[in-house]
Amino acid sequence: MKPFKYLSPTTVEEAISFYGQHSETAKYVAGGTDVIVKVKEGWIEPDFLISLKKITELSDLHKNEATGELSIGAAVTHATLEKSLMIRNEYPIIYDAVSNIGSLQIRNVGTIGGNLINAVPSADGAIPMIALDGVVLLHGPDGERSCAVKDLFVSPYKTILKPGEILKKITIPPQRPHTGSAYIKFGRRAAMELPLIGIGVLLTVEDDLETCTKARICLGVAAPTPMRAFEAEKLLVGKKINEDILRQAGETAADESKVRDSVRGKAWHRKEMIRVQVRRMGLACMEIIWNNN
Ligand SMILES: Cc1cc2nc3c(=O)[nH]c(=O)nc-3n(C[C@H](O)[C@H](O)[C@H](O)COP(=O)(O)OP(=O)(O)OC[C@H]3O[C@@H](n4cnc5c(N)ncnc54)[C@H](O)[C@@H]3O)c2cc1C
């Protein structure tokens, strides 16, 4: 492994300035569960690793009770999200996704920001952030800008981030009443496994607890980047949710996916699992809605 210098800034501005001084050979690192593996394997050879761990604002997790907006700092670890009762009770789709990432050791250091910026098609953390209409705040040498999480990904391992930009936080808008959400990481093993397919569903219904006003169907490992199944979502809005319509949504989502064969599984298996699991996750959403009323 090539030696590198480890820099530990305490503010975002300082981190960006360090990056500016060494831009050709610097790399940001949060939990390091992706970066350190790549350095050890010799896939990347940075001269400077700029740690984001001491920048306290990046580890902030709070919900503004007045506005209902949830703010998740980029360096919040998966374990912090997993242990938060507020996340577990109010954002089950986040809990479902992060509590199955890697192992306890990985979740203790791996961060939600690192998961998004690493930008692999199987990033478990990306699906709930898309389903919840999350917005990322980026800060770089040219100042701040925002974008929807769904628009963050360009291709495997590539996001819209410009050199030197830091992901500061993800903001989740207030959820409407009668909303349920669920995620399943479907793989061959329960632990230490990247998903064969990852499926997140969010449904909001009217006061009748049946008629759908909002649907999000988000798929991981179904395309080069995490994706929304827009046609399947459209099919549900305005309809009364029942098993039959959820089955149709599953079939539509499977048709919309761009699954392919990989070492972890065949395209046909992935398609079949989308069909089945969209329906199951939709039912899980409805169960949450009914239980909360
Ligand atoms: C054994 C093992 C099992 C794993 N299992 C899973 C799994 O089940 N599901 C899953 O989704 N992932 C899994 N991963 C991948 C990894 O743990 C996650 O993607 C993790 O969330 C990455 O976060 P990190 O803080 O460690 O990222 P780092 O390694 O620190 O960084 C990852 C990338 O993001 C950049 N970066 C980090 N933070 C910022 C920021 N705030 N602003 C700008 N750039 C930033 C870094 O420069 C780097 O390019 C696994 C990894 C290992 C080693």
For ligand 1, atom 27, the nearest C-alpha belongs to 114
Site to substitute for ligand 1 among 28, 45, 54, 96, most atoms within 8 A of C-beta: 28
Sorted by where each starts, the structural domains of the chain and their CATH numbers stand as 5-51 (3.30.43), 56-172 (3.30.465.10), 179-291 (3.30.390.50)
What is the CA(87)–ligand 1 centre distance, in A? 20
What is the CA(17)–ligand 1 centre distance, in A? 23
Which helix (H) or strand (E) segment is 118 a member of?
Answer: helix 112-118
Query: pLDDT grade, residue 61 (50/70/90)?
Result: very high
Of 122, 38, 114, whose CA–CA distance to 77 is shortest? 114
User: Tell me: the pLDDT tens digits for 98-153?
Assistant: 999 999 999 999 999 999 999 999 999 999 999 999 999 999 999 999 999 999 99
CB burial string 109-118: b at 16+ within 10 A, e below: bbbbbbbbbb
For ligand 1, atom 18, the nearest C-alpha belongs to 115
Amino acid letter, residue 262? S
CA distances from 186 to 190, 233, 281 (A): 8, 21, 12
Please check the confidence at residue 164 and state whether its pLDDT lies above 80.
yes
Range 76-94 average pLDDT = 97
Please check the confidence at residue 269 and state whether its pLDDT lies above 90.
yes
User: Tell me: the pLDDT tens digits for 183-231?
Assistant: 999 887 666 667 789 999 999 999 999 999 999 999 999 999 999 999 9
Name the 3-class secondary structure at 277.
helix
Range 256-273 average pLDDT = 92
What is the CA(254)–ligand 1 centre distance, in A? 28
In this structure, what are the phi and psi dihedrals at residue 117, rounded to the nearest 5 degrees? Answer: -75, -25
Q: Which atom of ligand 1 is nearest to the CA of 161?
A: 43
Q: Which residues line ligand 1 (CB under 6 A)?
A: 27-35, 37, 52, 74, 101-102, 106, 110-111, 113-115, 117-118, 122-125, 166-167, 192, 194
Is the pTM for the entire model greater than 0.85?
yes
Of 266, 282, 147, whose CA–CA distance to 212 is shortest? 282
Q: Which residues contact 270 (CB under 8 A, 6 or more apart)?
A: 196, 197, 221, 222, 257, 259
Q: Which residues contact 17 (CB under 8 A, 6 or more apart)?
A: 9
Mean pLDDT of the chain: 95
Please check the confidence at residue 279 and state whether its pLDDT lies above 80.
yes
